[in-house]
Amino acid sequence: MSVEVRHVPASRSAALDRADETVDLLLDGGREPGAVLVLTVGAAHPWQQHELSFGEERYWAQLTEGGDVFYADAELTRPVRRPVVVLVVNGGSAERAATAYTKALRHAEELLVVCGGADPAVAGTALAAVGAPAPRVLPA
């Protein structure tokens, strides 16, 4: 089974807002919170910052427990797969974004939604490198 890829266009400054809207739509559509992983390419998501304020041990325990949406940096090195990954391209270089696409695909089981200002050509190149279809662009 291949991973479906969707691209939600947004400027880097609006990428977090679009990602939050995407997560809300996924949850409203019946996805369980523990089925969603949100990865950021630029600055950490505010919810990740909030969760880290309780300490690293508690933060990582949430990943293991898998009961809620988990927010992390796109360079996440822990082994985790979730049905849905939302990749937020809210900063970083084109190279970092391309690497993040490839890694996010490895974390996604069913759906990868890319929110942000990444160049679709960069995304297409990264996806082709791992044999994934070109992203479907959703209206802004």
Query: Mind listing the domains of the chain with CATH numbers?
Result: 4-137 (3.40.50.300)
DSSP 54: T
The model's pLDDT over 127-139, given as tens digits with 9 standing for 90+, comes to 554 455 555 555 4
Q: Are the C-beta atoms of residues 103 and 126 closer than 8 Å to each other?
A: no
DSSP 10: -
How far is residue 73 from each of residues 38, 69, 116, measured CA to CA in Å? 8, 14, 15
Q: CB within 8 A of 83, min separation 6: which ones?
A: 31, 35, 36, 108, 109, 110, 111
The model's pLDDT over 65-92, given as tens digits with 9 standing for 90+, comes to 999 999 999 999 999 999 999 999 999 8
pTM of the shown model:
0.85
